[in-house]
Amino acid sequence: MDNIEGVIIQCFDPTLSPKKKSELENILNEFLSDNKSYQKVEFLLKTTANENVRFYCLNIFEDYIATRWHYLQVDEKLEIRNFIYNYLKDNNSTLSRLILNKGIKIIVNIAKRDWPLEWPELIPDLLKLNNSFDELRLSFTIIKTINEEFTSSREDINASRKIELKQLFLRYVPMIISRMMTLLENIYKEVFVMNNISPISANGTFEPNSFMLSPGTPNINTGFNNLPMIGISPTSGINSFSFPSPVSASINNTRIDNQRKEICVLILENLNQFFTWIPFSKEYINSQYLSVILSYAQLYQEDLVELGILAMSCINEIFSKNYVPIQFISILLDVASHTFEILKNLSVLRNIDNTYLEKFTEHLGLFITQHLKRAETYKDFPISDFLILFLNYSTAQPDIFAFERCLGLWYSLLEYFTDHVNDDEKEKMKIESYQPIMTQFFEQLLLKARFTSNEYNLKAFNDKTEDIEYQTELDHFINICADIVLKLSELYPECVLQKLLGLFFNDFQHMQSETTFHSVKNYAKDMKLTLQCFGQIAYLFTAEFENNFPSTLQLIQQFMNALSTCMENEIYLKGHCFTKLCVQLYNTIRLQIHWMVKWHTLSQNDEKSMKEFMEFINGIVNLCIMGFNDKCSDILMSASASLLNSITSTLRPSKLLIQPSIQGYLSVLNNQSVKWPIPVKQQIYSAFVNIFTLPGLNQSPNENEWIERTKALSQFIEQFGNVYYNQITQENFISSMEYMKDDSRLLIIHTLTIFSAILKSVREESSNSKTVVFEVLKKYLPATFNLLQPYINDGEILLSIFDFLLNLFDTLQKQIGLTVISKTVNMFFSILNENQIQTIMFGDIKDADALIKFIQLLTVLAEDTSKTIYPLLPDIISYSINVIFKKCFANETPNLGRIQFSYYELIEKILINQWRYFFPNSLIKSMISKNTNTEQDHRNEFIDFLNIILYSFKGKDINCIKKNINTLNMLNEKCNIFSQDVFKDALMVNYLDVLFEILLNKSLDFLRDDIIQIVYLIISNNFMLFTTNYIPHLLTSKCTNFSENQLGIINNYLNNIKDVQSCTENIYILVNDYYYFSRINCH
């Protein structure tokens, strides 16, 4: 014993050699080897002054409780418990925070096991610890830890004990909260009302009992009636709100001593934790308590703000639960009045803690979204005053990010108003009365969002790094502003429209007249925002079309003029912000397409009007063509293509093809587009192909017109198609190695990219449009199919081939016919054999992407539910199992992660759309070739597919696992798979083994509910089998070293599964107890 302290101290020496450390650990193990070793640790803890030794001793106690507690005798438990409790009580003022917290955690761990049966006096004893600051702090810290630990999901006790602890502790919560609230209230009165922080004891600490009022003290709330309760209760007879704050001035000059502050912090932290789980009823929370917390919520001064933040968190926790007690309107008005008071006082926001502002903004959000409607039912609730204060608060935010948080609340507020504006005339009048405030907000919003007025703050947003949606921080802010403008336009359309018009003309004028590049750039950014807002309010222009026609036409022409000026002067070359402006101009014009459709429809019976309309459209088409050049970025070309696509697919002017601009550009398009990026190229060709394949608006072409369209499209395609065809069909194309030359490869990729674009453009269109495309492309098909063999090892071309074939089979399956499809697919199977697949799996990304396209092609075929695909289905299934799975999943290869999601998509489509193939009736049997699988083979294939799905649950790809959970659910809906004999006989045990393994190991905890749902479906369809066969199997295989009692508990959980709810609850509890039993059994 004399040397053991020195041994422990040496163990914490970081320079200790491994050999020496091992020797010292052996000495310590010997020291702790007997059953009464805890007594030695007690002595050591009492006598040492070394922090590391204390920590080591407490670790020993912690291990005792976690692993040996249930083996100790009652008197031994009592000895340890009393020692730790008294050690903390006697020494808490001198112990470090680390040691104190560790000791408290040990006390609570003992309580988890012994309270209340063997330690009934725990809570009363804690509440009696109030003779000094140190005792009170210890008491509330232990209660806080109990509060956290008794409601945690940690698996350190069994589940039934967890439930019991929470229920038993709940009985004491009203008493604990009452005591805490009384102390909180009296500290507030002492410090902030009476401005008296005495009494202070001789040793400089305050004495809680000297000013705490006992529960029986009369007039306990008398002093509190003078607190700043600004709201007037509806029952008071005074129908107005006022804003007196009798103590706010004194609060600014008041200081609270550190000890009182620490106690208040502990109380508010406890309340925060309580409010996350206790039921909200009058036993636990009432208007008196709420008033006390609200008073603390007003403490935002520098020295007091920690209290204000915690109190505001409490209020937010209550509000988030949508708590509606008796006399709620009175309480709500008190809350509102405190909110008004804080809003008024925070209007300057100088030196206010950011966390406090975040909490208060969160509080306003909860008030607006959950309680504003209730507050409005009080006839004198001053919502106009609230809006003014909220506007001042929003504009005074210390930074742009805080202002952005406020914008989210303004959006909710505006949504609330727009939802009610159509209710009745009275509501409309009320909304109209808010217009001056809302106009002021609109002005402030634009000032904050525009670079010409707020560049310094807006530069705080990241405008370079894009997220997954290609949006920067600044883009997100601008989007929020535009969304708010949309909501404002629904309430005050004329006001919004006039303001935006003024801004647009002003910005465009300044862009042309400013002499410094920096100023021009700022106006370009501001003009983009204005245009985005115009796009949001496009619906205004289609309303009352004829009355608004001249002004709307003039506005769109101004947009066109601005775009023309920008494109002619090539400002998109000057920087990213100018490119974004041009993109926004294209998008804003595109968003007026429904207005154009109305004009087109009305002008179809008026030759003069149609002429004007076509001149207008021709102007837009010319602007689109200006965007199709190599100097433009991909995003700008894409925006111009989107506008042209809207014209050709939605507007569909019948005379567009004969326009000189279209005719002229079609003749040069192919030469220009060769080196364009594939996505842009496909967008542009799709837009032009629509002119040939889609009928004019409100028109139904006859057969001759469709023939003419086919001829016209054929002539267009032949410009580049014949060059492609002649190249790949020449006799010595392969033997002369011509096919390996860069020019040949580029020609093939370019042509197949255009073919794919053409096919995509008619995927959702009528059979007439598809027939036009088929007639044009059919001569190129055989030669294109033959490209697969020579280019089987060229990932780039292989990707183009399979992308074309995928779009071909997806779009023109009926036109091509099953015979051609079947022959082609089988040719692909023979070329993409096992060896080739294995090569692809170790190839580059383009090889994998090509294989994905082929798998998607098979998926398209598997989606055909017409049963015409049945003759080909056995080959697809066999290839999926015996080639793709066996070769792709045999090894961890670089490309496995890329292809597996597409592969599981293929399996899903086969199982869901062709499930009758696996459970055939006589008709289906006759449709399947006699040389293919027998019924037994189908059963084996089905088992293989289900095992492949199960295989994914052992992997790490979460997206695949989620997809396959969904597949199983859909399959069960289709054919009740879990009740089928094939599942019971061959799959059930394996499935349950893997799923329970996941649940018990918690390897996919965030998918736990989804997995439990599958487990329940299996159990509910096979309950007798589960109880008689599987439960014994599970207990034997998974619960080794469990005692009879522990096995009985686990068995009981499994046998008590009756429905979805009981399954979820019992498995949650089972997982907890399995972990707990495994932990204690290993010692």
Calpha distance 1036→1030 (Å, rounded): 10
Whether 603 contacts 612, CB under 8 Å: yes
Residues 661 and 780 in one domain: no
Backbone angles phi, psi at 229, to 5 degrees: -95, 90
Reply yes or no on whether the pLDDT at 217 is more than 60: no
- What pLDDT sits at residue 905? 97
End-to-end CA distance of the chain: 26
Would you say residue 19 lies in a domain? yes
- What pLDDT sits at residue 236? 35
The two tokens of residue 1019 are: 């159990």
Own/partner pairs, 160-166, CB within 8 angstroms, 24+ separation: 160/1069, 161/112, 161/113, 162/1072, 165/112, 165/115, 166/277
Residues 80 and 187 in one domain: no
Instruction: List the one residue out of 416, 431, 442 whose CA is nearest residue 498.
Output: 442
Calpha distance 748→797 (Å, rounded): 7
- What pLDDT sits at residue 894? 83
Reply yes or no on whether the pLDDT at 718 is more than 90: yes
Residues 166 and 267 in one domain: yes
Check residues 328 and 1049 and name the one with the higher pLDDT: 1049
Among 175-184, 222-231, 335-344, 856-865, which is the least confidently predicted range? 222-231
Residues 57 and 202 in one domain: no
Would you say residue 959 lies in a domain? yes
- pLDDT tier at 602 (50, 70, 90 boundaries)? very high
- pLDDT tier at 551 (50, 70, 90 boundaries)? very high
Number of residues that this document lists for the chain:
1083
User: Which residue do the tokens 């949309």 mark?
Assistant: 486
896-913 vs 958-975: helix axis angle to the nearest 10?
A: 10
Reply yes or no on whether the pLDDT at 33 is more than 80: no
Of 699, 732, 747, which marks where a domain is finished?
Answer: 699
- pLDDT tier at 327 (50, 70, 90 boundaries)? low
- What pLDDT sits at residue 935? 59
User: Which residue do the tokens 């102007």 mark?
Assistant: 619
Average pLDDT in the 485-495 region?
95
- What pLDDT sits at residue 381? 80
Q: Hey, what amino acid is at 661? A: S
> 925-982, pLDDT tens digit by residue?
555 554 444 556 789 999 999 999 999 999 989 999 999 999 999 999 999 999 999 9
Residues 970 and 981 in one domain: no
Buried b (16+ CB within 10 A) or exposed e, 772-799: bbbbbbeebbeebbebbeebbebbbbbb
- What pLDDT sits at residue 239? 36
Residues 730 and 598 in one domain: no
Would you say residue 925 lies in a domain? yes
Residues 293 and 173 in one domain: no
Whether 122 contacts 75, CB under 8 Å: no
Residues 609 and 692 in one domain: yes
Residues 564 and 688 in one domain: yes
Reply yes or no on whether the pLDDT at 224 is more than 90: no
Would you say residue 284 lies in a domain? yes
Would you say residue 617 lies in a domain? yes
Check residues 254 and 857 and name the one with the higher pLDDT: 857
Reply yes or no on whether the pLDDT at 423 is more than 50: yes
Beta bridge partners of residue 206, listed in sequence order:
200
Would you say residue 30 lies in a domain? yes
pLDDT > 90: what percent of the chain?
67
Average pLDDT in the 231-238 region?
33
The DSSP output letter for 227 is S
- pLDDT tier at 245 (50, 70, 90 boundaries)? very low
Calpha distance 337→885 (Å, rounded): 67
Number of Cβ within 10 Å of residue 394's Cβ equals 21
Instruction: Domain count for the chain, please give it.
Output: 7
Would you say residue 646 lies in a domain? yes
User: Among the residues of 237-366, which ranges form H helices?
Assistant: 248-252, 258-275, 287-297, 305-320, 328-345, 354-366
Reply yes or no on whether the pLDDT at 1025 is more than 60: yes
> Per-residue DSSP letters for 304-316?
THHHHHHHHHHHH
Residues 685 and 737 in one domain: no
Q: Is 87 helix (H, G, I), strand (E, B) or coil?
A: helix
Reply yes or no on whether the pLDDT at 193 is more than 70: yes
Number of Cβ within 10 Å of residue 417's Cβ equals 18
Among 241-250, 692-701, 781-790, which is the least confidently predicted range? 241-250
Average pLDDT in the 594-617 region?
94
Reply yes or no on whether the pLDDT at 396 is more than 70: yes
Report pTM.
0.84
Residues 181 and 298 in one domain: no
The two tokens of residue 267 are: 């109380």
- What pLDDT sits at residue 119? 95
- What pLDDT sits at residue 179? 95
Backbone angles phi, psi at 787, to 5 degrees: -75, -15
Would you say residue 760 lies in a domain? yes
- What pLDDT sits at residue 1080? 83
Of 645, 666, 699, which marks where a domain is finished?
Answer: 699
> 725-769, pLDDT tens digit by residue?
999 999 888 887 888 889 999 999 999 999 999 999 999 999 999
- What is the Cα gyration radius of the chain? 38
Check residues 195 and 1059 and name the one with the higher pLDDT: 1059
- pLDDT tier at 336 (50, 70, 90 boundaries)? confident
Q: Hey, what amino acid is at 950? A: L
- What pLDDT sits at residue 462? 92
Of 975, 1006, 1029, which marks where a domain is finished?
Answer: 975
Residues 993 and 967 in one domain: no
- What pLDDT sits at residue 864? 87
Domain enclosing residue 591, as ranges: 552-699
Average pLDDT in the 105-110 region?
96
- What pLDDT sits at residue 32? 74
Whether 391 contacts 447, CB under 8 Å: no
- pLDDT tier at 380 (50, 70, 90 boundaries)? confident
